[in-house]
Chains A and B, each alone.
Chain A
Amino acid sequence: MQDVLDKPRGDAAPPAAPVAPRCRRKGVRSRWGLTGRITALSLFCLLLLFPFLWLVSQSLKDTNQYFARPFQWIPDPVRWENFTDVIFKYDFLHYIGNSLWLAVYAVVVNILSSSFVAYGFSRFRFPGRNALFMVVLATMMLPGQVMTISLYRVYRDIGWIDTFWPLLVPKLFGAAFEIFLFRQFFLSLPREIDEAARIDGCGTLRTWWHVILPQSKPVIIVVAVFTFLGSWRELFGPLIYLTGEENRTLPLGLLYFTSPFGSSLPMLMAAIVISLIPPIVLYALGQKYIDKGVAIAEIK
């Protein structure tokens, strides 16, 4: 399971891999190999980027331009107002607001609850600990939809449908993958700092809050980024629980995207661009912080 941990941290870590020893005899051959590598990667990246460039181009057109042949990569004229139209006329401001506060809530609550639970798993010996931790890991394999059906009926009976409660409450109890990440990180922190805190008269709760968490910036940022992304793109839960228009999140707004002003694919494309920007920005910010965080953690 070590690999799971490596996922975000590995991506975060600066390429600290030992530089592969170069073999002098094969210098020419490896240079050709390198050229081949870079060519292959460039072609693949081009393939990856094309839909996204196409998306941006199409989002800046009007409907006629959208369908026009031959295809224009740089629209003329550029319709920036598509974006303001989507945000204001199509009510996306509202959807973005809903999605944003849900995501921020998820991040804050998930960091607190998951690190709290992970602290228990990493710093205390109690009967059944390892078995319970295996259960934590096993829950990642359970398809969430199985539970959703029964939960839906409970929420319906207590009147939570079309409220945010079904999305808010379960997050209070920690999430398996995040607990796992925190635990692995906490295990890597030396126990001596706990001991020192205890000798200084810190209770375990204060040790968690004042000693462990401040040391855990890298993993907190990783969890924050992943939780935000997860909440930002979540569709199944909101689709089922949020039935009214008032409570729609951004993914729901996209799913139900219909134009009151006639066919409007460029508007849809603009809406897609808008919903893709926060994850990209967050990743860009997060990666920088994570790189630093991991570097700092490794120096100590």
Chain B
Amino acid sequence: MTMVLKPGRPGRPRRRWWRREGVQGYVYISPWLLGFLMFGVAPLIAAFLTSLSKANVFRTIRFVGLDNYQKILTDDPVFATIAGNMLIYVIGSTIISIGLGLALALLLHRDFRGNHVFRTLIYVPSLLVGIATAYLFKQVFQGGEVGLANMFLGVFGAGPVNWLGNSEQPWLALVALILVNVWFAGGTMLIFLAGLKGIPPAYFEAARVDGAGPWQMFRRVTLPLLSPVIVFNTIMALIGHIQVFETPLAFANNGGISTGNPLGYENSLGTFVTYLYVKGFVYQDMGYASALAFIMFAATLVLTSLVLWFARRFTAYGDSERN
């Protein structure tokens, strides 16, 4: 093959086509692009098509339109329970992650001896989240006097609580599930700390000179200036909590995932992902599970846009106050 050399445009160094910046850029991002198409876009489309279909045991697939969605949203008492669980869980856990994370960051946002030790101690547990800590907290919230939680309550004279296996008060399991997030607030704390460090000290100084007290300082300086970080953290916390999986699975698991009920007593520990897992991979109803996944995704989008909508009003308010 002969290479035909065309005269390059005047004033520009002649380059072969694959040497061009644009082409090279695409070459470098091509692994991601390829992965995105193969493991992102294609499965997403396939999952959507699956969610519109129903497959029986012989894998013959039938198109059923929005039947799966309709069944989930109107005619599935388990999903109704789970949606309720998720609403309580996500709100409760996000309040803990954000409130506690922010409070801890404010406490640590001053240089004092030992600051580093506290920061590390609070941050490290959030790195350990997973099935191991899920089983740990399952034992912590064990009923009777064995569990640490009940030992702790016993010190104050409160009776042992049957947290996880309570058929009369199944919501207690959900409370335990939410409380576990106290141990994992370190991640959001760290981001808040970084955000606090990004606020120029001059603002605090100016407020101090104007005679602002600690509360005013927090309300009028810290909160407005930190609001982008708060919004970011809230969205990340929401996404994370909606996808909670290991802890509820461990809490509900009574030896053997497939034999026990992975959703807990009266489905009190059912979450979107555990239910999806049960439907899709225990009962092999992929169409139903796909529809569940999209409903979960839709819930994520709705909550995220709610936060953003709220934030727009809030930050605008903060802006007008600052000026």
**A residues bordering B, Cβ < 8 Å?**
1-4, 6-7, 9-11, 15, 17-21, 23, 34, 37-38, 40-42, 44-45, 47-52, 54-55, 58, 66-67, 69, 71, 113, 116-117, 119-121, 123-127, 129, 132, 135-136, 139, 141-143, 145-154, 170, 172-174, 179, 204, 208, 229, 232-233, 235-236, 239-240, 251, 254-258, 265, 268-269, 271-272, 275-276, 279-280, 283, 287
Docked Cα-Cα span, A6 to B26, in Å, equals 28
Chief secondary structure at chain B's binding surface: helix
Contacts of A10 in B (CB 8 A): 190-191, 193-194, 197
User: Can you name 16 A-B pairs with beta carbons within 8 Å?
Assistant: A3-B232, A3-B233, A4-B232, A10-B191, A10-B193, A37-B112, A41-B104, A44-B104, A52-B136, A66-B146, A123-B25, A124-B21, A149-B47, A149-B276, A152-B281, A268-B139
User: Which residues does chain B contribute within 8 Å of A145, judged by CB atoms?
Assistant: 243, 273, 276, 293, 296
Q: Which among B29, B122, B130 has the greatest number of chain A C-beta atoms within 10 A?
A: B29
Determine chain A's interface SS by DSSP, over half rule: helix
Out of A17, A132, A229, name the residue touching B197 (CB < 8 Å): A17
Q: What residues of chain B lie closer than 8 Å to A9, measured between beta carbons?
A: 194
Q: Check A45 against B28 for contact (C-beta < 8 Å).
A: no
Across the A-B interface, how many residue pairs have beta carbons closer than 8 Å? 262
Give the Cβ gap from A271 to chain B, nearest Cβ, in Å. 8
Are A67 and B28 interface neighbours, CB within 8 A? no
Chain B residues in 8 Å Cβ range of A45:
118, 121-122
When the two chains form their complex, are residues B139 and A37 in contact, meaning their CB atoms are under 8 A apart?
no
State in angstroms the CA–CA spacing of A283 and B132 once bound together. Answer: 17
Contact A272 B47 (CB under 8 A): no
B5-13, B84-92, B247-255 - the one binding chain A: B247-255
Q: Closest CB-CB distance, B146 to chain A, in whole Å?
A: 6
Pick the contact of B127 from A132, A142, A283 — CB < 8 Å? A283
Query: Which of these, B31, B137, B256, contacts A174 with CB under 8 Å?
Result: B31
Residues of A within 8 A of B293 (CB): 143, 145-146, 149
Q: What count of chain B residues pass the 8 Å CB interface test? A: 102
CB closest residue in chain B, given A174: B32
CB proximity of B36 to chain A, nearest CB, Å:
7
Smallest CB separation, A55 vs chain B (Å): 5
Return the CB mask of B80-112 against A: 1 if under 8 Å, else 0.
000000000000000000000000100111111
Residues of B within 8 A of A11 (CB): 119, 123, 190, 194
Q: Are B198 and A120 in contact (CB under 8 A)?
A: no
Specify which of B28, B111, B112, B145 is in contact with A69 (CB 8 Å cutoff): B145
Is B153's beta carbon under 8 Å from chain A? no
- Which of the residues A71, A135, A153, A287 comes within 8 Å of B151, measured between beta carbons? A71
Residue of B nearest to A57 (CB): B148
Which residues of B have CB within 8 Å of A117? 28-29, 31-32
Q: Are B182 and A141 in contact (CB under 8 A)?
A: no
B228 and A3: CB pair below 8 A?
yes
On whether A235 and B246 interact (CB within 8 A), knowing A3-B232, A254-B131, the answer reads yes
